[in-house]
Every structure is written in structure tokens, then in C-alpha cells.
Structure 1
Amino acid sequence: MRFRPLASLSVAAAAVLLIAGCSASTPDATETTSEAPVSGCESQLKSGAESDSIEVAGDFAAEPSVTIPDGFAPAGLERSTVIEGDGDAIGQNEVLEANFTLIDVATGEVQLETLSSDPDGMDTLVNPQQIFGAALECARVGTRTVSVFPDGALGEGSAAFVLVADALAKLPVRASGAEVAPVDGMPTVELSDDGAPTITIPEGEAPTEVKLENLIQGDGDTVAPGDQVIVQYTGVKYSDGSVFDSSWDRGAPTQFGTDGVVDGFRQALEGQQVGSQVVVVIPPAFGYGADATSELQNETLVFVVDILGVQHAAAA
């Protein structure tokens, strides 16, 4: 499935990082320490003199006090550990609740602060090609890091930034709520041991309106219009049941805005709670019917979507 690119200067825009990908309470801290990555996991960001020079004080999971040296102008991407956690290891493509404070180096102003907007932590996909994911990849839950990004790291003309990140907890990478009885006449879904769905199309004509059902009802945050969602999904054609797109097949969740997908898919997301699994049937008029360039223009589509996390548009 194709999604429109993220464009607004928001949480989503701040997440962009132009680097290649690879793969409780703790004591107060005033000095950074060298990076101690999880065994077998190599962070794209390494500690260095520039990240070590940023002083970060305050308790874990509380508002940090950040001191940036006078005339600070980072030349590269670096990350140092401020507080060393001892929780679960954080690997690539996992989903994390974390706190973030993003500071403009030139002005010292806080550009983004999630502790007040998302007190329980902002949901984050650990992807080394995004600054939020790169800030905590290969750390452990309970860790606080400080990362530095030079001019242009967030796109042409962007200012240099310092990012303080607290890793609060890992979230499931499949729907995790209460099972709901399936609706008669809807496609049936069987799940593999890892949660990947196999979808069987019912007999009869495809519906002409969007049809929705929950197979799992989550109890997390509710997805609002314009939010960024972290999901696993599989899409099949109603006509023959063949898979045309699947994050499960790619081996990783994905993230996008509810305003960046076809209307039927948007309907399946907005108003749902994190932890839910949704089945949606999307006729062409609510899918790609208006896109003459799409091979799916005349197809009714079926998606099974696991909603793993949400970043609220209001946090921007």
C-alpha cells in the first residue's frame, strides 16, 4: 500500500533522520557516560566528545535539565548514555513508550517536549532512520540518552538539535487486547504463532460500502484524526484473496498518518484504541477507485490491521 509522505513540521517531521539503517526510578545524573550497547545490537549513533559535552540533570522519567556549552555547533551525529537502564533490551523495529525533549542548539528553546503531552510516554517505532528510534536503539528500558544532530540532519535548512530520550517500556508488536467474536459474512482470519494473519474471503459479491469489525479490542489510547499510527497489517484482494501488501512479510511494523492513506483505511484507524485488531473491507470508491495509475483501481480490498501505537497530532 502506498502512503503519502510526512510533510508537516511536527512529531512526524522531527522523526526524520537522514542516516542509513542497520541494525522505575534511577539515580540523578549530571554527566554523560560512554555508550554501552546491548550485546549483539549495534546502534547507528556512537558516543563522542560532542554528545559527552552535553550535561543532563534530573531523575529518569522526569523533566531533564540540559546544559549546552557556549558556542556549541555539533559536526556529526552522536549519542551518549546519561542513565544506564537494566530493563529489556531495545532492538530495531520494536515499539517503545518513551519521553523526548528536543532542544534547538542555537536558541536553547525546547521545540518538542512529550512529558506533558504524553505523560505515559510517546509511542515510538525503533527505527534507526528516525531520530526518536535512533536515540534509544540498542539501549535498555530505564535508559536515558542524549543525542546531538548537526545543522541539516532533519532536512535541508534544519537547525542543530539536542535530544534527550527516556526509554520507559516496550509495547507488544501484535494486537494485545480482548478477543471479540467475528461478524458473520466478513472475511475470516487465522493468526500464525507470531500474529501474522491469513485472510479467507467469503463467498458472494463484494460489499459496496466500507465494512469494519474488531477481532481484538484494545484498551490503549484512542487514534484521532491526523495522528501517526504504528501498525502491522496485511492487505488482500477481495477478488481472489491474494496478498498485495503486508508489513508482516517485510518483517517490521510501519508508521504513517491517518491522513496519508485511502479513506477506507482511515476509517479503520480513527476512533480505534491501541492494542486493537481491525478487519476492514474497502470498495474501490473508498480505496484506489479514483487512481487510474493504480493496479488496485477496480479492486475491493481487505486489510487486517494491528494497532500497536499512536503519536497524537496534538503533540506537535
Structure 2
Amino acid sequence: MPRSVPVHRTSRLLAGGAVLVSLAAVLTGCAGGSGNVAGCVPKAVAGQASQTIEATGRFGSAPTVTFATPLHVDDTQVSTLIAGSGTPLTAQQEVSADLTFLNATTGAEVSKTDYSGSAPARFVIGGVGIPGLRKALVCARVGARLAVVLPPSQAIPAANRPAGLTATDSVVAVVDVRDAYLARADGSNQVMGNGLPAVVLGADGRPGITLPENTPPTTLRVANLKNGSGARIAAGDTAVIQYTGVIWKPDDITNGTVFDSSWTTGSPVDVVVKKGQTVPGLVTALAGQRVGSQVLAILPPSQAYGDQATSTIPADSTLVFVVDILGKA
């Protein structure tokens, strides 16, 4: 990935099949499960086992978890201990959460996040390495505390299993869903001007960019494909985004080449909207935008990498970015 463009978080806690097991790094009266709400069809529901779990303490603080042992389930169960609010979560969304894991056979705690508020686990629900959590979080809401019971086959994979768990142990997880980010820009569509690159969105929101035949502009151009209505991104903020970048360099073999895209991994990235942290043209393009917007930014070389070449971008290249602003970190 070229220097100074958005970079994937090296501190991502759960991605693909990986589960980090240090305390700071492992992902993290009962109501029913998350339920079939607002048209959302849950992948897991409440059951006898999940309804026996109690987790006292305020939301966002390390809970005291009690349940009768041993617990064992054949399929993931989830009960809501504290109700959340807002739109039900989908598998495509990234969330931040604090989690406590316990051995369901012995009741012993095996791992948890630090609950400081500064280092919650962040992961895309559909990509988390614990299959049962993928099921339990669909249709949950931000602000919810969930009690989840995971059978061994849907719990922490063997390669990442922490000390205190065996291959035959079910797992209890208490999950506080702190925040969630959009899966894709959801703002209102805007009419685009002539002479700009054409953008067509795939079913998942992934942009395809077609460059016009005219000469690239020599000054920064910014246009909104969608206008969001969420929180405003100020200079210095960290924006959570999905993006695709294309080289616009007529008469060069790289013209139209995608040099980088977060969509290839399916995971959003964090961008600090500050010069010196991100290429200057993107700082200007993102500052003042609202969450939910989709932004087309055309960066002349002076607003990108100038006469410096990278492994994927020739010197003196104009860059075209399509950026979905999913949230503020």
C-alpha cells in the first residue's frame, strides 16, 4: 500500500480466522434473543442455556458473570441482557465491542478486553473468526449487552484457543456492543457533472470507476456522489471509510488501474483527516463531510505524491478516489 494513503489498522482484534488471545486483544433476568425486528432475521435466538446467564455491572464495564455449570449447547444461543437502540446490525457492518469469554464447563474466565473505552475490539461481523459470534450479532443493536453460549464447533478456533479451554468446552461470551459503522454510504444520491469519472456500484456497494477520455484536471476536484446526514468529519478526526483508488494517467499503461482498495479485504480502514497523516487532497476532500456520504475526489499530483513514484503508482500521477464515509472512530 503506498505511503500516506489510508492504512489498515494493525491493531484489528478479530479478522478472518484470527483471534488474538491477550487480555487487550481477544475479541470481545434475561430478555429474549435479538429477535426478528425491523425486518431483520436473526441467525441465533435465545435458549434455555443463554437465559441462565447473569452479567451484573454497568454497560461498558467489566461484568460479573454467573451461570450454573456446566453449560453445553449444540448451536449458538443469544439473550439480550441490556437492550440497545437504533437499526439492527447486519453481517456487513463493522462494530466495536467489549467482550468477556468464559469456559462454560467450569465458569472460569478465560479472556476479556480491557473495558477502558480506548481499546475495544473492532471487527466486521461477517468476518469475525468466531462463527457463533457472527450468528449472535446479526440483528443486535448498539448499546446492547448480549449473553452468548457457543458450542465448541462455533467457538474460538483451535489454532487460537486460549489457555483454560479445551476442544470439548462450550464458551460463554458477554458482549457489550459499543458502536457500529455503516456497511456502505447510505446518503441521498447526487447528480454528477460532466467530465467527471463515472462510478457504478456493485450489489455490495463496491465502486467501479470509469475514466473519461479528457485530460485530468490540474486542480483538486471533489464531488459528492451521495450526501450523508450523519456526524460531520472535522479536520483531525479519524474517519472510518471504504475506498477505491484509480490512476488517471492518459497515455500510460497504468491508466485506469486500481492501485488500492479496502473493498478487496471487506474491512473498513481508519483515516486521520490531518495533513502528514493522509495525502493532502484526501484531507481536503474529507474534512467537513458527513457520515453516510460517498465522495469522489480527483487528486492532481500536487495533492497526491507529486514526482515521487511508489511500487504501484508512477510519478506525476493523478489519482481518483471514491470514498464511503462509514463513521467516526
Of 286, 292, 297, the match for 1:269: 286
Conserved? CA contact 1:233–1:305, under 8 Å: yes
Aligned equivalents of 2:78 and 2:125: distance in 1?
17
Aligned residues: 249
Superposed displacement of residue 179, structure 1? 1.2
Superposed displacement of residue 229, structure 1? 2.9
Deviations, residues 53-94 of structure 1 (Å, cap 9, x unaligned)? x973258xx56573489xxxxxxxxxx967378996753xx2
Structure 2 counterpart of 1:144, which letter?
Answer: R
Structure 2 counterpart of 1:310, which letter?
Answer: K
Conserved? CA contact 1:141–1:169, under 8 Å: no
Percent sequence identity is 32
Query: Aligned residue for 1:47?
Result: none
Aligned equivalents of 1:231 and 1:243: distance in 2?
17
**Cα distance 1:287–1:297, how it changes in 2: closer, same or farther (>3 A)?**
farther
| SS, match of residue 245 in structure 2 | strand
Q: Which has the larger radius of gyration?
A: 2
Indicate yes or no: 2:300 matched with 1:300.
Answer: no
Residues 136-285 of structure 1 aligned to structure 2 (within 5 Å): 137-139=134-136, 140-142=138-140, 144-145=145-146, 165-167=175-177, 172-239=182-249, 240-248=255-263, 250=264, 252-259=266-273, 260-285=277-302
Aligned equivalents of 2:89 and 2:115: distance in 1?
29
Superposed displacement of residue 123, structure 1? 8.8
Superposed displacement of residue 220, structure 1? 0.9
Superposed displacement of residue 199, structure 1? 1.8
**Cα distance 1:242–1:257, how it changes in 2: closer, same or farther (>3 A)?**
closer
| SS, match of residue 63 in structure 2 | strand
Aligned equivalents of 2:265 and 2:310: distance in 1?
28
Q: Which has the larger displacement, 232-241 or 134-143?
A: 134-143
Aligned equivalents of 1:136 and 1:273: distance in 2?
30
TM norm structure 2: 0.56
In structure 2, runs of 5+ residues without a counterpart are: 20-28, 31-41, 45-52, 67-76, 101-109, 149-159, 161-172, 250-254
Structure 1 counterpart of 2:18, which letter?
Answer: G
Structure 2 counterpart of 1:254, which letter?
Answer: P
Aligned equivalents of 2:324 and 2:89: distance in 1?
23
| SS, match of residue 186 in structure 1 | coil
Cα RMSD for the two superposed structures: 4.9
Conserved? CA contact 2:262–2:269, under 8 Å: no
Of 99, 112, 129, the match for 2:117: 112
Query: Aligned residue for 2:49?
Result: none
